Amino acid sequence: MIYPPIIAHRCGGALAPENTLAGLHLAARLGCRGVEFDVMLAADGVPVLIHDETLERTTSGRGRVADMGSVQLARLDAGSRHHAAFAMEPVPTLADALHRCAALGLWANVEIKPSAGQDVDTGRVVARLAAAANGKLLLSSFSSAALRSAAEEAEQLPRALLVGAIAPDWRERMAETGAMALHSSARALTAETLAEVLAAGFPLACYTVNRRDDAERLFAMGVSAVFTDRPDLWAASEM
């Protein structure tokens, strides 16, 4: 599996409202080749881009994402909490985001972020839509159930297991989910564990890396890619 080395976290990192189409456009303008974003099901079963199960932190709405339909979510302001220049930026659907990624030539890491009790359904729906999009993408999740469901729906799509620290049972979890790569916290990564992962033939990517020197150290250790809130720290030719 070949990763773009620098992947913009939540679409545009800290430079745009997270998980928005504006973030995708900003990442593309900076020269990013890869982006990451979070996907959750709305009340009507439509997958939308959002990180939290609740709306207050990033949008003008209140309550749970799972209790609001995708049309209602699209009417919320998902930009002003970042900056007034992004006022009325909507909560996009996954379909819109994948279409925009294809138009911009962006590789996408689609993180399956199920709300409570929605792991299996979210994995299945996201995988079905991602497979139909036929774009350059990878599915990832902290949820083993979501990854297994995604594999059952679209086995051909590459998948990565998301973890904080890499636990001793990482091999078993990779096997049970059919994951082809591992994504871990940069802070929790040790050289010894990384060596074990690489020796087993799995690429590893790290989040969230916001300093060039930290990224360079990780690349020297053998990490394939970093997720960053600061894609502006790199030139387009480096991404």
Query: What residue segments make up the domains of the chain, in order of their start?
Result: 6-238
Taking every pair of Cα atoms in the chain, the longest distance, rounded to a whole number of angstroms, is 48
pLDDT score, position 134 = 82
Q: What is residue 44's predicted lDDT score, i.e. its pLDDT?
A: 99
Question: Whose CA is closest to 144, among 114, 177, 115?
Answer: 177
Verify whether residue 51 is a known catalytic residue.
yes
pLDDT score of 2? 87
Helix and strand numbers (H, E) in the chain are: 8, 9
- Catalytic, out of 25, 51, 82, 99: 51
Could you identify the residue written with the tokens 């087993």? 200
pLDDT of res. 104:
98
Residue 231 burial (CB count, 10 A)? 26
The sign of the torsion formed by the CA atoms of 31, 49, 229, 60 equals: positive
Q: What is the pLDDT along the chain (239 residues), one digit of tens a residue?
A: 789 999 999 999 999 999 999 999 999 999 999 999 999 999 999 999 999 999 999 999 999 999 999 999 999 999 999 999 999 999 999 999 999 999 999 999 999 999 999 999 999 999 999 999 988 999 999 999 999 999 999 999 999 999 999 999 999 999 999 999 999 999 999 999 999 999 999 999 999 999 999 999 999 999 999 999 999 999 999 99
User: Among this protein's residues, is 9 annotated catalytic?
Assistant: yes
The domain defined by 6-238 folds into TIM Barrel (3.20.20)
> What is the C-alpha separation between 47 and 182, in angstroms, rounded?
24
Q: Strand 34-41 to strand 47-49: parallel, antiparallel, or no bridges (unpaired)?
A: antiparallel
Residue 63 φ/ψ region, left for φ over 0, alpha for ψ in the -120 to 50 degree band, beta for the rest: left
Q: Choose the catalytic residue: 9, 82, 83, 183.
A: 9
